[in-house]
């Protein structure tokens, strides 16, 4: 992320170091990760020790030092979803995207991760994409769901052919 | 001033002082590993648990993070407290099985074995955060921090690489309750292995011993609030 883009976010919060977590979340949303350069720049700009930013970036699930996908997929592995076949859905997603949980597709379009409960057990098994919940998921619905999020038709076809 | 009772004896304390501080000042021993009087209390090691009665409610709390309040009744040796502390120690022991201070506490508290298994790799760190607080509050270098959360939590420099802010003062090594940090001076170079830091040492003008990291001298100069006398760093403590 360029310095100007970071600067816009910093100024949105009045350059107040108390709002640094909000800034990190905004940057994460735009960039899908927090680069080392970003943290170093913020640290100098706001006079917040780099240790503290690193602490936050590794503590909060919403923040990531590793690149995530433009569409971040979370498969709920909670008890209710688990007994209804969350493992099979995860497997199908891994197969379709040719990545393992915790990884990102080479084109950075999709990132895959598991969560332990999203709190909507009645809808289980649940998969959330970009914070949007897909309830009553099944392995056979995975492909259609991915297509909906694919940015271009070409990508949409590419998905699930591997 | 507030009044509180610890183990049946009445004490006076400043408001805002923590219970552990008052107990220790008055010779009441409460085991603790992550507390230091010069640093902000953190409640990380959980060993200083005491039973607190406030009004009609009685509960266990870490004494280092509990503020003295008017009419507080504290007990440091009830069966509940001792049992809770023994469990805490059992939980700490797998993290640092060899640490002498933990072993001494275990003997003192009658813990002979722990029910919990060690991880395959033991780094002897109990995640008490004393080193981090010393580095940030006492020294002001902010070289290290906690990273991660839950079982992945550990102490490390940013990005797990060389701690570029570390001045090699050794405060963290000195304070670590388990001795999991190491500092070594050899051939004019100081090494802090866990922070991946190596620092060049300045030689004493009299005896020639290389005794102090240049980074520490530079840090003391820049800090400025309590500047050292001119030439103070020329000689080592033995030759001054």
Domains of chain A: 3-59 (no CATH), 71-158 (3.40.30.10)
CB–CB contact B147 A55 (8 Å):
yes
Helix axes A36-46, A50-59, angle to 10 degrees: 130
Q: Are B210 and B168 spatial neighbours (Cβ–Cβ below 8 Å)?
A: no
Of A36, A49, A52, the CB nearest to B159: A36
What are residue A95's phi and psi, to 5 degrees?
-70, -45
Query: What is the sign of the dihedral through the CA atoms of B171, B175, B178 and B184?
Result: positive
- Span B229-239, average pLDDT: 86
* Number of neighbouring beta carbons within 10 Å of residue B57: 7
- Span B100-107, average pLDDT: 95
pLDDT value, residue A159: 54
Domains, chain B, ordered by start: 2-109 (3.10.20.740), 130-234 (no CATH)
**B229: which DSSP letter?**
P
* Euclidean distance between CA atoms B129 and B154, whole angstroms: 9
- Span B144-166, average pLDDT: 94
ipTM value for the complex:
0.89
Q: Are B23 and B68 spatial neighbours (Cβ–Cβ below 8 Å)?
A: no
Q: How confident is the model at residue A153 (pLDDT cuts 50, 70, 90)?
A: very low
* Euclidean distance between CA atoms A45 and A64, whole angstroms: 20
CB pairs under 8 A between A and B: 35
What are residue A32's phi and psi, to 5 degrees?
70, 5
CB–CB contact A51 B159 (8 Å):
no
| Residue corresponding to tokens 């688990």 | A82
Q: Which residues sit opposite B11 in a β-bridge?
A: B4
Q: Which residues sit opposite B210 in a β-bridge?
A: B203
Neighbouring residues of A157: CB distance < 8 A, sequence distance ≥ 6: none
* Euclidean distance between CA atoms B198 and B181, whole angstroms: 14
B12-23 residue pLDDT tens: 999 889 999 999
User: How far A104 CA lies from chain B's nearest CA (Å)?
Assistant: 20
Q: Which residues sit opposite A132 in a β-bridge?
A: A129
Instruction: Give the chain B residue whose CA is nearest to the CA of A65.
Output: B159
A35: contact with B, CB 8 A cutoff: no
Q: What is the DSSP string of B47-89?
A: TTEEEEEETTEEEEEEGGGPBP-TTEEEES--HHHHHHHHHHH
B151: contact with A, CB 8 A cutoff: no
User: How far A160 CA lies from chain B's nearest CA (Å)?
Assistant: 34
pLDDT value, residue B228: 74
Which residues of chain A does B144 touch, with a Cβ-Cβ cutoff of 8 Å?
51
What are residue B146's phi and psi, to 5 degrees?
-70, 145
């Amino acid at each position: 992320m360029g310095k100007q883009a970071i600067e816009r976010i910093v100024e949105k919060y009045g350059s107040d170091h108390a709002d640094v977590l909000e800034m990190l979340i905004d940057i994460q949303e735009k960039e899908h990760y927090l680069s080392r350069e970003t943290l170093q720049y913020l640290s100098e700009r706001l006079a917040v020790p780099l240790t503290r930013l690193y602490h936050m970036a590794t503590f909060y699930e919403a923040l990531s030092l590793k690149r995530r996908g433009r569409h971040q997929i979370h498969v709920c592995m909670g008890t209710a979803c688990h007994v209804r076949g969350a493992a099979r859905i995860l497997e199908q997603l891994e197969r379709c995207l040719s990545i393992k949980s915790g990884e990102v597709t080479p084109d950075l379009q999709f990132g895959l991760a598991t969560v332990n409960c999203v709190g909507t057990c009645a809808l289980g098994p649940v998969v959330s994409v970009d914070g949007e919940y897909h309830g009553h998921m099944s392995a056979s619905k995975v492909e259609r769901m991915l297509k909906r999020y694919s940015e271009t038709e070409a990508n949409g076809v590419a998905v699930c052919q591997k | 001033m507030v009044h509180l009772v610890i183990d049946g004896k009445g004490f006076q304390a400043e408001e805002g002082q923590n219970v552990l501080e008052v107990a220790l000042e008055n010779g009441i021993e409460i085991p603790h590993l992550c507390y230091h009087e010069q640093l902000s209390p953190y409640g990380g090691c959980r060993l200083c648990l005491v039973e607190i009665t406030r009004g009609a409610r009685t509960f266990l709390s870490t004494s280092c993070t509990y503020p003295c309040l008017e009419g507080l009744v504290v007990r440091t040796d009830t069966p509940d407290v001792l049992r809770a502390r023994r469990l805490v120690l059992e939980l700490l022991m797998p993290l640092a099985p060899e640490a002498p201070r933990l072993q001494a506490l275990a003997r003192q508290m009658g813990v002979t074995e722990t029910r919990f298994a060690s991880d395959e790799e033991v780094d002897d760190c109990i995640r008490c955060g004393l080193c981090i607080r010393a580095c940030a509050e006492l020294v002001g270098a902010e070289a290290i921090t906690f990273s991660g959360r839950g079982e992945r939590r550990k102490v490390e420099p940013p990005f797990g690489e060389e701690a570029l802010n570390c001045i090699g003062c050794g405060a963290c090594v000195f304070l670590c309750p388990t001795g999991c940090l190491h500092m070594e001076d050899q051939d004019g170079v100081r090494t802090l292995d866990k922070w991946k830091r190596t620092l060049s040492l300045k030689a004493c003008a009299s005896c020639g011993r290389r005794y102090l990291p240049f980074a520490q001298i530079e840090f003391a100069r820049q800090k400025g609030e309590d500047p050292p006398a001119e030439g103070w760093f020329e000689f080592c403590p033995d030759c001054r």
